[in-house]
Chains A and B, each alone.
Chain A
Amino acid sequence: MNTLIALAYLLAAVLFILGLKQLSSPKGARNGNFTAALGMVIALAATVPLLHFTRAGAVVVAIGVVTGTIVGTVGARMVRMTAIPQMVALFNGVGGGAAALVAVAELLKFGVHPPFAEVFPSVFSIVIGSISFAGSMVALAKLQELMTGTPITYPGQQIVNGLLAAAIIGFAIAVLAIASIPFSFLSLLVLALILGVAFVLPIGGADMPVVISLLNACTGLAVAASGFTLNNFALIVAGTLVGASGSLLTKLMSDAMGRSLANVLFGAFGQVHAGVRAVAGGQSRSVRSASAEDLGTLLAYSQRVIIVPGYGLAVAQAQHAARELADVLEKRGVDVEYAIHPVAGRMPGHMNVLLAEANVPYEQLKEMDQVNDDFKNADVALIVGANDVVNPAARSTPGSPIYGMPILNADQAKNVIFMKRSMRPGFAGIDNELMYGPNTVMFFGDAKDSLTKLVSAVKAA
């Protein structure tokens, strides 16, 4: 029987690896998700013979599985596309929380002096799982705008966080070396929860995807550690796979923003630096705005238009309106492309997913490197709800928090139409010079309404 279970776990591990492999190419991605899900079903089925149910235990498992399935399915199905990053944060957090609780339950079983090989991974799992849980919840709150997306900093913050970490290490050593009693490992759990919150607070909302990816890798490692405690190979292999691939993915994501991981985590990115604000010169500067009719004419008689979508497009659900505008322009013989910045929206790939939903042809979606040289030949760069990814401060202002981030060269287009809800700064919380540019026209309003107005204006032109 045990041989069969081990073989089933092996099969599950193979399916996870194949699933990850498929998930990293656009063609097989969806199948990859099914493959991994199949692995999960097999691993769960193989666990059943290992269970010795008490009456209460059977009820607990049944209620838990049913509740979790309902919450998970309804949550994942009902959520709007724009809120998907928050859902990923939530699902990651609850996984970390589960890992921490499993470890707590194991430690309770062992008594005061558990063997080191059991207690060490449990302690690791409690700490990392709790950090992942609390950190993910803060990330969720920031993305959902339940709290401010700008970094929350205070003097001596690094020291406070350092002390928290030191206290955690102290309690961990106490559990390992002196006695594993509920007081000590529950303190550990609480301290780790606090550290999770404190760790994410100073990180700006725009960097949440990287943070979630990092916490995702952490949860993987916490799960692997639980596997060591429970002597369960499925947990070890799957958790480690996630830990390793998640770490690499985190690095790839921060690379895509042109910043180091350390800068993302400790740079308090998006804080308004006094110097930068002084350069921007306050709120009194004037911008040009124009009517839909004028802009419609400008667009209709252009040769080449590049649309730069951003989070505003996602919020307004304006992808269909954008497609419609592109269609009427193309009918008039205008060349239309979409320039997709790697971190446009709130997650890498966010824009591709939304525009694909509106059936925008794949060929029109251009990645940054492909399109950046085309801007200088474009008659109009139409910026729909993007901001930081076209902010020239990334090239020109060394003090700016986004300095060095690769941006789309929208400012090189002959005309820039900057569609925005208001003059509010972008997600990174900094002013955008492009709005004051000599060839820039602002067009205020909800992205979807504005695009619809432009469609009728182009038709009338």
Chain B
Amino acid sequence: MTNELLNELTFFVLAIFVGFEVISKVPTILHTPLMSGTNAIHGIILVGAILIAAGANSRVTIVLGLVAVTLATTNVVGGFVVTDRMLEMFKGRQTARRPADSPAPK
């Protein structure tokens, strides 16, 4: 096994543990935004897609690269924007909490 592969394997295994640990206690209401957020993070495949597409030199690689970059960019941009839109709603909730803390005159 090459050194590089060994390094990669180490990162891989450690990242599994971190991934489990980091979200072990998450309230139900955040399940959807969290799923959407992780969804955006795997858009990092864009890095791979660009690496492939940049060197495109044949019809096949051009088509593959174009589709891959488009799909991956959609994943990244759409993923983060839609997550933000979901979480924007929680802001409304926090401003709504304040008047409730001090009973509003009716």
A interface residues (Cβ-Cβ under 8 A, vs B): 13, 16-17, 19-21, 23-26, 29-30, 32-34, 36-37, 39-40, 43-44, 47, 50-54, 56-58, 60-61, 63-65, 67-69, 71-73, 75-77, 79, 81, 84-85, 87-88, 90-92, 94-95, 97-99, 101-102, 104-106, 108, 117, 209, 212-213, 216, 219-220, 222-224, 226-228, 230-249, 252-253, 256, 331, 340, 342, 347-350, 352-354, 356-357, 359-363, 367
Contacts and interface: CB of A to CB of B under 8 A. Distances in A.
A246 B56 contact: no
Contact of A245 (B4, B23, B57, B88): B23
A68 B77 contact: yes
B29 A348 contact: yes
Given A40-B44, A57-B55, A233-B11, 20 more contacts: A16-B41, A21-B22, A24-B22, A34-B84, A52-B55, A57-B57, A60-B62, A61-B50, A84-B85, A91-B36, A94-B71, A94-B75, A98-B48, A98-B49, A209-B32, A224-B15, A238-B44, A253-B31, A349-B32, A353-B89
Contacts of B95: 359
Given A57-B53, A248-B19, A105 B45 contact: no
A232 B90 contact: no
A230 B85 contact: no
How extensive is the interface on chain B, given as a class?
Answer: 35 or more
A241 B41 contact: yes
In this complex, the member of A16, A76, A87, A213 whose beta carbon has the largest number of chain B beta carbons within 10 angstroms is A76
Contacts, number: 392
A353 B85 CA distance: 10
Contacts of B68: 64, 97-98, 101-102, 105
Q: Is the interface of B mostly helix, strand, loop or mixed?
A: helix
B97 to A, nearest CB: 5
Given A68-B77, A91-B75, A362-B96, A246 B38 contact: yes
11 contacts: A17-B18, A23-B34, A30-B84, A76-B79, A77-B85, A95-B43, A98-B46, A98-B68, A209-B32, A212-B35, A245-B38
Q: Is the interface of A mostly helix, strand, loop or mixed?
A: helix
B80 A37 contact: yes
B61 A105 contact: yes
B3 to A, nearest CB: 11
Contacts of A360: 93, 96
A289 to B, nearest CB: 33
A135 B36 CA distance: 16
A65 B15 CA distance: 28
A69 B77 contact: yes
B80 A50 contact: no
